[in-house]
A and B are shown apart, each in its own frame.
Chain A
Amino acid sequence: MRRTVDDSPATLAIREGTVTAGSQQAIAPESAASKTSAVRALSLGKHIDDRAILDEIDLDVPMGRFVALVGPNGAGKSTLLHAIATLSPATHGSLALFGQTVHRWAGAALRARIGMIGHQSMLYRDLTALENLTLFGRLYGVDAPGERAAELLEKVRLSDRAHDPPKAFSRGMVQRLSIARALMHNPDLLLADEPFAGLDVPSTRNVEALLAQLHGEGKTIILTNHEIAQSLRLSEQVVVLRGGRVVLDRPASQVDVDAVTREVMA
C-alpha cells in the first residue's frame, strides 16, 4: 500500500512533536550508500569584485543526510546552494557531487540527480499544476510523466487542484507544488532554500512533514533556514554560515538552540 504524507513515520513523529535529530537517525538508518558523499566541497569560494561571498567552504554531506544551513541574512546560504546546484558556479576551490568533480557547470546526468526548491516557485503561473509537473517531467525524460505528476499531486495533497494554475493558489499550496516539481525526476539530492519562508503554521507543518518523509525515503536534503529550533528538530547535521564562512559544523544532536544562536549572532 502506498504510504501518504499523513501516515509516514516522519509525519507522525512531527505531529507528536517527537522529531529530533535522534529520531531522524532512526527514520533514516545508516546504509552502505551513505558512505558516499552526495556533496563534497573543498575550499569552495565565490568572489565577486574582490568580495568573498563564499570563502574557504569545506563541507561534506554523506548520501541520505539531512543538513540544515543556518546563518544571518547575507551569510551566503543561498549562494552556497546555488553553487552546489551549479546554477552559479563557484570561483575557487573544488566541488564534487556524488563523487564526480564539477567543472563550472555540471553535466546533464549530474543535474538530473538534483532537485531544488528555491525562494521562487520555479512554476509557470499560466500553466496548470499538472501541466507544470508534466512539462518538467518530460524535460527530465521521466517515463509516464502524467502518472508521476498525478502521484506527486496526491502526495502534496493537490490532486483536486491539478487543473488550476499556480496563480490561483495560496503561498502554501504553491510551495507544496514547488516541492512536487522538484521531485518529478526523483532526485537523490534535494536543495531547499528557505522553504518555510512566508508560510503559515499549517503550511509549515505540511512542508516539514514532506521533507521529513523524503528524508525517510533516503533522500539527501540540504535545507537553508532561519528558524534554528526547527532546523535542529528536522536535521541531522547543522552548519552555521557567517560572512561566507563555515563557523560551525556539528551533528544536530550535539548542539542546542542557544549554541547555534550564539554562532549565528556572533
Chain B
Amino acid sequence: MSRAWRQLLLLIGKDLRIEARSRQTMGLVTVLGVLILVVLGLGLGPGKVPSGPSGTVLLWVAYLFGGVLCFEKTMAVERQDGTLAGLMLAPVDRGVLFAAKLITNLLLIAALAVVITAVGIVLLQFDLSGVLGPFVLITAMSLLGFAAVGTLFAAAVSSTRLQGGLLALVIFPICLPLIIASTQLMVRLAERPDEVGAGGYLILVAFDAIYLVMSWLVFELLLEP
C-alpha cells in the first residue's frame, strides 16, 4: 500500500475514532435533522405532506442543514487545538487531507441520511416503495457532490468568525443545481419512469465530477492553519 493510501486511512480512522468517543457531531446533527423533518411535517399539517418521491424535497432540507453542521463540526476538530497546522506540517499531500475529510464527511452524512429517511418513512409516511433502489443511488450521488463542496468551504470559513452561518450561505447556492437535479430526477422517476434513462443520472455524475475536481484543486489554496 502506498504512503498516501496509508495516510488517508490513518486520517479517516482518526476522525471516526474521535467522533466515536466525543459523539459531538452525529448526536447534534441527527437531532437537528429529525427536528427539521418533524417541524416541516407539523407545519404542513396532516394529509399535506407529500408522501411520494416528491417528499424527498423535505428530506433534502434536513440533509442540507444537518450536513452543514456536520461539515462545520468535523473541521472544528482540526481548529480546536491547532491540529490542522500539525497536519499541514507533516509530509502529507494536501489532496490526501482533503480526501480524508471528504470521506469522513460523506460517511457521517450518509449515516445521517439513513436516520432521517427512516424517520420520514415512519413519521411522515413517505412512500418510497418501488423507487427505493433509484432513491438510494440518486441520494448517494447527490451527497457526494454536497460533501465535496461542504468539505472545501468548511475548511475555508473555519478560520473566520462567522463559520456556520457563512458556511450555509456559501454552500446552499452552490449546491442548488445539484439538489434541483436530484429532486427533479426522483419525481420524474416516480411519475414517468420510462422517460428517464441513463442520461438522467449523467447530470448528477457531471455535477459530482465538477464539484470534486474543483474542490480538490482549490482546497490547497484555501487551507490556512
Contacts and interface: CB of A to CB of B under 8 A. Distances in A.
Interface of A: 82, 85, 87-88, 108-109, 111-112, 114-116, 118-127, 131, 135-136, 138-141, 166, 181
Contacts, number: 73
B225 interface: yes
B90 A136 contact: yes
Interface in B83-98: 83, 85-93
Contacts of A111: 89-91
A114 B89 contact: yes
B7, B80, B91, B93 — which one has the most chain A CB atoms within 10 A of its CB?
B91
Interface in B80-120: 80-83, 85-93
B83 A124 contact: yes
Contacts of A141: 3, 91
Interface stretch (B17-25, B127-135, B139-147, B200-208): B17-25
Nearest to B19: A126
B21 to A, nearest CB: 5
B197 to A, nearest CB: 45
Contacts of A82: 225
Contacts of A131: 17
Q: Which 5 A-B pairs have the closest CB atoms?
A: A120-B82, A108-B91, A122-B86, A139-B90, A112-B91
Contacts of B93: 108
A112 B87 CA distance: 11
Nearest to B14: A135
B38 interface: no
B78 to A, nearest CB: 9
Secondary structure of the B side of the interface?
helix
A14 B144 CA distance: 56
19 contacts: A88-B224, A109-B91, A112-B90, A114-B89, A120-B81, A121-B81, A121-B82, A122-B81, A122-B85, A124-B18, A124-B77, A125-B81, A126-B21, A126-B22, A135-B10, A136-B90, A139-B7, A139-B90, A181-B86
Interface residues of B, number: 26
B28 to A, nearest CB: 15
A111 B86 CA distance: 11
Contacts of B86: 116, 122-123, 136, 181
Contacts of B7: 138-139
Contacts of A122: 81-83, 85-86
Interface in B18-66: 18, 21-22
Interface in B184-225: 224-225
A81 B87 CA distance: 16
Contacts of B85: 87, 116, 118, 120, 122
